[in-house]
Amino acid sequence: MIGHDVDRVDGRIKVTGAAPYAADTKIPGVTYGYLVTSTVGRGQITGMDTAAALASPGVLAVYTPFNPLKLFAYVQEQNDERLPPLQDKEIRFFGQAIGFVVAETWEQARDAAGLITTTYQQQPPITEFPGRTLQKFDEVEEVVGAQTLGDITFTASYTTPFQHHCAMEPHATVATWNNDHLTVYTVSQGALLVQRRLSETLGVDPVKIHVLSPHVGGGFGGKWGNWAQVPLACAASRALGRPVKAVLTREQVFAMAGHRPMTRQTISMTCTADGKLTSIVNDGVTSRGLGGNWSESVANWTLTTYASPNIRVTKTIMPLNLGAATVMRAPGEANGSFALESAMDELAEQLGIDPVEMRLRNYATLVPNTGKPWSSKHLDECYRRGAEEFGWSRRAKQVRATVDGDWLVGTGMATATYGASRGQASIKVRLYPNGTASVSGTAADLGTGQYTVFAILAADELGIPVARVRPELGDSTSPAAANAGGSNSTCTNGPAVQVAARSVQTELITLAVTNPRSPFHGKDPASIVYRDGSVSSGGLTMSFGTLLTTCDVGGVEAIGTSPRLVDPEHGYRSFGAHFCEVRVHRLTGEPRVTRWLSVCDAGTIVNTKAARSQIQGAVVMGIGQALLEATEVDASARFTNANLASYLVPVHADVPRIDVRFLDHPDPLVSGLGAKGIGELGIVGVAGAIANAVHHATGVRVRDLPITLDKLL
């Protein structure tokens, strides 16, 4: 069953509206919380007048830093806010949560929030760094690798703007208490992430916190962290003794629920006349929101991509008065690859070497920064197959050489790679008398297809149809499986599903030989064979459903654990190559992506349909990164285009057919399943491939994303 096209098992309930998302949660007596947010970017709150809000119809409570809900400082760092909301009066960013109004209806809460007047002692916010020289305020965090050698052959700087995840489902949390037990329905990339964070800030034992997040409407990193609405809804519900629902507005999501940081990379390279790199230096600068902890290691992709005897990357962090910068699909690597893939193209052109050939000449047969072998790597096959299928050999040698009517036509390519680690996961498989099975773990499905992966792998091991397996995700009371991040879900949870589905067969055989009602009672367990949903011994075969019914037991179950991969000897990554055609209008400068092929080496592919969809979605997101997406900040440090009308993401008309090929090379070292990650791989290199195609079409090299038409005129 592995490696075929399977429809999403949760597809029907999602498109018919039957799948419950956090904000859909209906609890009798629920109240509504509305977040009040700062209207300055930096300073101190000097006063908040809440009298009118408190007197407003339906209002139950107004919490502010002058009347806070008690929240304890977070113990462990996570990619979200540094401090829980309302615990101090300092303003670190525009749109910071400074109040929480709870009322009988959402409209009453929102209207009351509008009646609060806040006074500030303001300071000018710091919101930009391009062109700015390093200041004392800045943090230089890491310098990795050897020193550069030789004369610089090529140097250039590449910049990327703030971006936002723009998941369709906004952040929402519903909290309800039963004595000292909390139940939370919330958006999340992992129920355990919420449970741990809430345990810290509420001061409640995690076993008393039940987190449910069965369906998530997109995450992309923006739901890894727990943002202000999570602790506020829970703490207010505890204080009021009523359930509380809090849903962020779209602008609040932009302001306080994380963004991809702004970056600059300055790449310098030296090489031999035949294009072999002798040194690469990438000085990376990244913004860090003062609301958060996290910063992007933007230059680190340079450490692991091409062979060179000398590679050095640096990281300089510029803290800005913005909410937390956080992980966003291929954090560091989506931006990091734009710079290095552009630079490789520029250097190849300077030397008169074909871009594919340039990459093959610098092919890293060992991990460049450690010298270790790869667990598996077939990137050369990705380049060659991609070039062949795309028709790369017909590419014009000169830039601006192909014109089709009013359109300048160019092609470009780039490398994709992303880490492929395997964490620890436990999964429970249970067999039922009606012949079905459930497979459960705390994992999350953000729209990625993880439900279907669970169903396929359990069905495959149990030898029953996928339709007879019921995957159960997003519940903190399930065995601890992988959170949805780092392209880790399938390669971590998949092997655990397999272990659990094998273990439950042993449990079934034990039941068969020990239960007095069983026709196999008293037999040697070694004589019983499990196959295709049935147990057999001698001439007798019985399906597990019939056996459980005959024995009159409710089911048998087993928990399977797959340990974290610990292998200091190898480097683990997924690989790919992107090839694209871009057309740029001769008169308007409008760029359009018109053809796409991605060839991926990501080990075993469990569900080819959902996997293609993952890569296609990532390429779409990369087209946005390359041509459209940028969040602008005004002088008050407000994200100005904080909505889906003016933050431009690709629409159907912006996206051509995206062809995706998977090489069939299971990685035996990552697991017996052989699956590596695909969730983030697809976006890495996309912006570089497009920038290279734009240059091939027009002769214009744009080193500043997004590549908008004004930069091409």
Q: Active-site residue numbers?
A: 680
- CB 232 to ligand MOS: min, Å: 23
Q: Pick from 224, 390, 418, 454: which binds ligand MOS (CB under 6 A)?
A: 224
443 contacts ligand MOS (rule: CB under 6 A): no
Cα pseudo-dihedral 368, 371, 375, 380, rounded to 10: 40
SS (H, E, C) 445-457: CCCCCHHHHHHHH
Query: Is residue 520 part of the contact set for ligand MOS (CB under 6 A)?
Result: no
CB of 487 to ligand MOS, least distance (A): 6
Among residues 259, 329, 661, 696, which is the contact residue for ligand MOS, using CB under 6 A? 329
- Minimum Å gap between C-beta 574 and ligand MOS is 13
Q: Choose the binding region for ligand MOS from 12-20, 324-332, 412-420, 549-557 (rule: CB under 6 A).
A: 324-332
Between the CA of residue 284 and those of 59, 165, 336, 342, what are the distances in Å? 49, 22, 9, 15
User: Minimum distance between the CB of residue 189 and ligand MOS, rounded to whole angstroms?
Assistant: 6
Residue given tokens 């509206």 in the structure block: 17
Query: Is residue 261 at the binding interface for ligand MOS, with CB under 6 A as the rule?
Result: no
Task: For ligand MOS, give the closer residue by CB, 255 or 327.
Answer: 327
| Contact status: 125 vs ligand MOS (CB under 6 A) | no
Assign 12 to helix, strand or coil. Answer: helix
Q: How far is the CB of 319 from ligand MOS (least distance, A)?
A: 21
319 prior amide bond cis, ω within 30: no
Please answer whether residues 652 and 280 qualify as being in contact, where contact means their C-beta atoms are separated by less than 8 angstroms: no
Nearer to ligand MOS, 228 or 325 (CB): 325
Task: Look up residue 212 and give its amino acid.
Answer: L
- Tokens coding 261: 């940081």
Given 103, 328, 580, 618, the residue binding ligand MOS (CB under 6 A): 328
DSSP 78-102: -SSBSS-TTS--EE-STT-EEEEEE
Supply the minimum distance, in Å, between the C-beta of residue 236 and ligand MOS: 27
Nearer to ligand MOS, 681 or 707 (CB): 681
- Using CB under 6 A, pick the residue from 59, 101, 191, 327 that binds ligand MOS: 327
Residue nearer to ligand MOS on the CB measure, 92 or 259: 259
Under rule CB under 6 A, residue 242 binds ligand MOS:
no
Residue with Cβ nearer ligand MOS (99 or 190):
190
Q: Find out whether 43 and 29 touch, Cβ atoms under 8 Å.
A: no
**The two structure tokens encoding residue 312:** 């050095």
Among 161, 336, 486, 622, binds ligand MOS (CB under 6 A): 486
Please give, one letter per residue, the 3-state secondary structure of 577-634. EEEEEEEEECCCCCEEEEEEEEEEECECCCEHHHHHHHHHHHHHHHHHHHHCCCECEC
485 binds ligand MOS (CB under 6 A): yes
Nearer to ligand MOS, 593 or 683 (CB): 683
Phi, psi of 546 (to 5 degrees): -65, -40
CB-CB neighbours of 559 under 10 Å:
18
How far is 407 from 570, CA to CA, in rounded Å? 47
Interaction between residue 145 and ligand MOS (CB under 6 A): no
Instruction: Confirm if 461 and 484 have CB atoms less than 8 A apart.
Output: no
Between 437 and 618, CB nearer to ligand MOS: 618
In angstroms, what is the minimal distance from the CB of 326 to ligand MOS? 8
Of 121-129, 246-254, 328-336, 427-435: span binding ligand MOS (CB under 6 A): 328-336
For ligand MOS, give the closer residue by CB, 557 or 680.
Answer: 680
CB of 254 to ligand MOS, least distance (A): 17
Q: 22 vs 444, which CB is nearer to ligand MOS?
A: 444
Interaction pattern, residues 550-589, with ligand MOS; x per rule: CB under 6 A: ----------------------------------------
What residue ranges in 349-468 does DSSP mark as E strands?
A: 402-404, 407-419, 425-431, 437-440
**Contact (Cβ atoms closer than 8 angstroms) between residue 598 and residue 615:** yes
Strands 31-37 and 97-103: antiparallel
Work out which of 33, 84, 95, 221 binds ligand MOS, going by CB under 6 A: 221
Q: Which of 189, 492, 505, 613 binds ligand MOS (CB under 6 A)?
A: 189
Distance CA 452, CA 608 (A): 11
Using the rule CB under 6 A, is 74 a contact of ligand MOS?
no
Residue nearest to ligand MOS (CB): 221
Give residue 413's region: left, alpha or beta (phi > 0; psi -120 to 50). Answer: beta
Q: Where are the alpha helices (DSSP H) in 260-372?
A: 333-351, 355-361
Of the candidate residues 331, 533, 589, 617, the single one contacting ligand MOS (CB under 6 A): 331
Q: Which stretch binds ligand MOS (CB under 6 A): 205-213, 323-331, 457-465, 652-660?
A: 323-331
Amino acid identity of residue 260, one-letter, is R
Q: At its nearest, how many Å lie between ligand MOS and the CB of residue 165? A: 8
- Rounded to an integer, what distance in angstroms lies between the CA atom of residue 353 and that of residue 206? 58
Q: Which of 296, 334, 328, 331 is nearest to 219 (CA)?
A: 328
Nearer to ligand MOS, 111 or 680 (CB): 680
Residue 218 beta carbon to ligand MOS: minimum distance, rounded to whole angstroms:
11
- Residues at the site binding ligand MOS, with contacts judged by CB under 6 A: 189, 221, 224, 327-329, 331, 485-486, 680
